[in-house]
Amino acid sequence: MRTFEITPLKQAGCISFGMPRTQVRELLGKFKEFKKNKFSKTTTDAFSDCHVYYDEDDLCDAVEFFAEATVQIGPVNVFGTPYDVLRTVIRSADADMQEDESGFTSKKLGFCAYAPDGKLESVLACSDKYLH
């Protein structure tokens, strides 16, 4: 299991936002390329523990992580922390965090959680332009 430490708006582990697709693939290894949905302008790379999203110039824009990855944001082990606690930690760093029934979004930290019914399924770390 790989560990990814989030540096808000800059990088997720060894992956820097703005990094070329070819370099991400070299770092993360085996992948499948696919379109996330019919409206996607570019393809997404699926690795064993994350999906990497790219902009129209093939530069990394965001990384979505699943429980197969160890993800750290500050001292918090994201998937090892109850969702309510994670939400409280992020809100303490971003009072403007937006929340709805499917999770939360912190534009200040470039960090989103998908947690329908309060069960954390994935988190997304991204560049500042991804959420704007």
Q: pLDDT digits over 67-123, tens only?
A: 999 999 999 999 999 999 999 999 999 999 999 999 999 999 999 999 998 899 999
pLDDT of residue 1: 73
> Would you tell me how many other CB atoms lie within 10 Å of the CB of residue 22?
9
Rounded CA gap, 100 and 105, in Å? 9
pLDDT of residue 121: 96
Q: pLDDT digits over 16-62, tens only?
A: 999 999 999 999 999 999 998 888 889 999 999 999 999 999 999 99
Asked if residue 40 lies in contact with residue 49, where contact means CB atoms within 8 angstroms, the answer is no
- The model carries a pTM of 0.95
